[in-house]
Structure 1
């Protein structure tokens, strides 16, 4: 494939463009391994890459897409050979290095995860960074003592990519899952994923100056942030943990020291981009095993788009209009 197609964003002074372009082999950035991309996925971060004020793209022009799954076609890294099926999720893709919205990609071998037994390339992108973030959230909570017998775990933004996968994973592990959403039409979807109780998101954004309220949650997976995180900090049980991975509800929140010094709350930052490759492989191994969300794969497995559909999909995810995962078929 000497010529291939990719979605490219460009910014110069006050102008911004986003279009599908035909690129050549020499247009690819430096890297050890060249891949034929089979699938990518749409994440909120990709949505931000699709607007000039998104502040996630470090240099232009850029091919967005923080996830990809594909097959090695050329490698100067002895760890990988032609025909190997691999995953790249997060790392620098779509931010400072051409990403997954392209039929071909060239990346560092250090970023590659061999496709674990138990996952197909397509399933890996149904999970993608969103699923990886959810799995990392679960693992970090477990590492800090959260277990199914401790009490209910709440998932905010539950119809989004991280939220949907977290609901399915936690339910599969035996947790009582409470899902928070602002979409009244999606309650049946969340129950099919395993949620036992559903709360309207407005119930989690009530303004209240009390630093501590009735303790409810043994743990929380929170890709929302903002006032929602303030509420979670004031209502999490003794020794509970909140795994924070996003800011769709805002980047700032209000709290005091009391949840930490009186209830021993753990606030766990989930950064999927800057962890070691060894830790990344451990999480992906669980995504192919006990954290593989079978309910999610059955419910949303057929949502597919093409490169030409991406501008609309990126706009939709920025507006919070996506349920579960959207796949890009390359």
Structure 2
């Protein structure tokens, strides 16, 4: 299919300005790889939105096709681990950042990036989960490795209506946790309760007028997706011996805090990266999702399918913080 064209969202630098638009491409426009995949879906993440703007901190060389995850069917491969026709999922490893990504009808990648879709998950479900779900479940794994086991533990999830936050709530509820507080700029209560939240609070309610070094111990474990000032306000409220995972920076990259929550309450702050996770860990996470995530709760997220031509509009909503749930680009 060397001369065949397909559509992709291409981000380019023109006269020192960043432009993004859907274009006809050929295999010559794709990064090198051993496996060709016909893309079925690619989920839109906040990181993908940043990839389309100047100084977004995601893409460093142009032109580039963004899209940090993709689900589809193998067209050609040199691998012995999977074959033509297999359904597969790809997340991380530079996809859509330094390697042409999922916002393309055809994706070409190295064999070692490919994970076979586990039984029990459809392509749409896998795309709904995507990088956001891998991040959410790895965050839960980290909390469980650092003390979370009591099903009655007080758990806070920030950025609750976003991709990572919404899947985290659905997974926590599926695992039997009974006390999940959802924190969101948008107080979308019905949606969050349907996912599994037992309490919903808005950012305005949560943020104190002044952040003190130590405050009332409100939460045992926290899954934070937004960072910044919100994170600064959470740390003084974590219970003795508790832990918090960090996986996002929608509220900013700066952190103002003191050592007191760490040295007087023994809390742990755990960084979570889903990009460079080895495939063995990703495969284990996908298996856990396939076996333990309540698919009815996943359907509550209500992933919206959109054509590739609407990406720019959706990206605008993501950057403005007015986007809820999961949006999938259906190829």
TM range (shorter): over 0.9
* Equivalent position SS for 1:19: strand
Q: Is contact 2:65–2:103 with CA below 8 Å preserved after alignment?
A: yes
* Equivalent position SS for 2:325: coil
* Equivalent position SS for 1:289: helix
Q: Is contact 1:150–1:218 with CA below 8 Å preserved after alignment?
A: no
After superposing on structure 2, the runs of 4+ consecutive aligned residues of structure 1 that deviate more than 3 Å are none
2:64 to 62, 65, 84: 62
Alignment partner, residue 304 of structure 1: 305
* Equivalent position SS for 2:76: strand
Query: Structure 1 residues 157, 263: closer, same or farther in 2, change over 3 A?
Result: same
Alignment partner, residue 201 of structure 2: 199
Name which of structure 1's ranges 136-145 and 46-55 shifts more when overlaid on structure 2. Answer: 46-55
Query: Structure 1 residues 295, 152: closer, same or farther in 2, change over 3 A?
Result: farther
Measure the CA separation in 1 of the matches of 2:60 and 2:287. Answer: 31
* Equivalent position SS for 1:127: helix
Residues 116-159 of structure 1, C-alpha deviation per residue, up to 9 Å, x if partnerless? Answer: 11111111010011111111111110011112345210111111
Measure the CA separation in 2 of the matches of 1:207 and 1:270. Answer: 29
RMSD: 1.4
2:160 maps to 1:143: no
What does 1:1-330 align with in structure 2 at a 5 Å threshold?
Answer: 2-149=4-151, 151-175=153-177, 176-184=179-187, 186-290=188-292, 292-330=293-331
Measure the CA separation in 1 of the matches of 2:257 and 2:304. Answer: 39
Measure the CA separation in 2 of the matches of 1:302 and 1:287. Answer: 17
Unaligned runs of 5+ in 2: none
**How many corresponding residue pairs?**
328
Measure the CA separation in 1 of the matches of 2:153 and 2:259. Answer: 23
Q: What is the deviation of 1:223?
A: 0.6
Query: Structure 1 residues 123, 198: closer, same or farther in 2, change over 3 A?
Result: same
Unaligned runs of 5+ in 1: none
* Equivalent position SS for 2:250: coil
Measure the CA separation in 1 of the matches of 2:326 and 2:306. Answer: 11
Measure the CA separation in 2 of the matches of 1:138 and 1:245. Answer: 11
Structure 2 length-normalised TM: 0.95
